[in-house]
Structure 1
């Protein structure tokens, strides 16, 4: 609910909106209408899993040990949900780390296409969770969601091409929030400042 307020949705409106908040440890999916959460789905698959997948991939595919911090950097520089980003494609990122067998220093260039392949399984779990949430959405609100699109927020929303991949898979437009990392904090601040208007949140 805080994320929905933070991205500027009218949470009190008599229509349905779906928000997908991809955080570090979990992905929260909620359908919001008339100031309440009509249905929600939460899975323990999110940004941290994407980082762990990159760590495992670098170890298996390139025999290089990378820290969680380095895997996070790889995700930021060449992380992608699509194998074809067209003009938006980032340059390869050079990873430095020890060979996991010899411990000798290695320099490995990594491209976004291989990271997209390595993240595919985790992203598919998020896709399935969204589909499951849509299945449990009342028909009249489902129609609103198809019309309004689905809103992506949280750090995971910044993954290149994620909105397009989800749109292509689910056939509903996905919109990335303007400042996805801070939507929840922003929404909480707005609710506290306007406690009279958002009194239903305090119930």
Structure 2
């Protein structure tokens, strides 16, 4: 049954669920609000995200994934169960097949944790696919020809860079510098320069509304409210786009360094293809204003933003779900889309 095939982009910042035959049916933050005294789950997803930084001591709004991998197994299991129940595909008589996306450098132990969380949430079979491969397919790249395609997927916890050809990864790198590190860098900058303490939601809004990857790209400003670290009193500070660009410079340089290292290890023929086609940016972090321009200037290669960068991985899993039956007939051999059933 189509409803029994599910693709899940289990991201550090957001979870997207693709159900075969229905498309993307869920896109919510990877956040769970719990009563720490009883272990009771109070809210999941968008509702829980609104509680971050605003809860009493006995309630915590937590993100169970960190840097692209599971940091809190039990909470991740509860989160998956909640989302699968919400979209109506988890029933006691029906255990779905799941295609799970993981960063390209995920270890066997980390994959096992993801597999176990999926199985305990109700999966009958669990398949693993690397995120850059799913992102490339979701972005519309034809990765199955003998031609080089380069993708940079900037999520919440990791940035995955990969060159693909003939349906598989040729060279790749995955670093734990992505959207969360951008937020942390901005928080540190505000504390250092303006002596202002702010929360996660504030810096994310600042990054989205006036942020830029290069100074001079935007001439906007925004009033930011927080707590003065010296007086301890509430304070409002005006922050400019150039200040945000300055704050984000270091983590962006690390992303560019990872992309450069992949290009340096790419075979010459594939490098020539990349120069012709350009590099595709996907992931929520890729939406930072001017980031495509900065990558292009630093790498001397055309860089374009995917049509739907935040949903590219989920859309890629949807296309790959069509190959599950063929994958089963191959009895676990790497074929076609290049993904595999998990083997502990």
So what's the TM-score if we normalise by structure 2?
Answer: 0.56
Distance across 2 between alignment mates of 1:140 and 1:125: 26
Equivalent of 1:54, from 186, 203, 213?
A: 186
Aligned to 1:169: 298
Distance across 2 between alignment mates of 1:165 and 1:199: 34
Equivalent of 2:314, from 171, 182, 185?
A: 185
Which structure's CA Rg is the greater one?
2
Distance across 2 between alignment mates of 1:194 and 1:36: 15
Note if contact 2:279-2:302 (Cα within 8 Å) is conserved in structure 1: yes
Q: Residues 133-144 of structure 1: matches in 2 within 5 Å?
A: 133-144=262-273
| CA RMSD across the alignment | 1.5
Note if contact 1:77-1:90 (Cα within 8 Å) is conserved in structure 2: no
Aligned to 1:159: 288
Q: Residues 1-203 of structure 1: matches in 2 within 5 Å?
A: 1-85=133-217, 89=218, 91-195=220-324, 196=326, 199-203=336-340
Note if contact 2:167-2:336 (Cα within 8 Å) is conserved in structure 1: no
Q: Which has the higher helix share?
A: 1
Instruction: Report which stretch shifted further, 95-104 or 177-186.
Output: 95-104
1:194 to partner: Cα distance: 4.7
Runs of 5+ in structure 1 lacking a partner?
A: none
1:73 to partner: Cα distance: 1.2
How has the CA–CA distance of structure 1 residues 90 and 185 changed in structure 2, closer, same or farther, with 3 Å as cutoff?
A: farther
Instruction: Report which stretch shifted further, 51-60 or 191-200.
Output: 191-200
Distance across 2 between alignment mates of 1:122 and 1:62: 20
Note if contact 1:6-1:184 (Cα within 8 Å) is conserved in structure 2: yes
Note if contact 1:4-1:19 (Cα within 8 Å) is conserved in structure 2: yes
Q: Which has the higher strand share?
A: 2
1:90 to partner: Cα distance: 5.8
1:202 to partner: Cα distance: 3.5
- The number of equivalent residue pairs is 200
Note if contact 1:11-1:33 (Cα within 8 Å) is conserved in structure 2: yes
SS in 2 for 1:15: coil
Distance across 2 between alignment mates of 1:150 and 1:84: 24
Distance across 2 between alignment mates of 1:64 and 1:200: 48
SS in 1 for 2:197: coil
Distance across 2 between alignment mates of 1:49 and 1:180: 19
So what's the TM-score if we normalise by structure 1?
Answer: 0.94
1:200 to partner: Cα distance: 3.6
1:54 to partner: Cα distance: 0.6
Runs of 5+ in structure 2 lacking a partner?
A: 1-132, 328-334
Distance across 2 between alignment mates of 1:83 and 1:199: 44
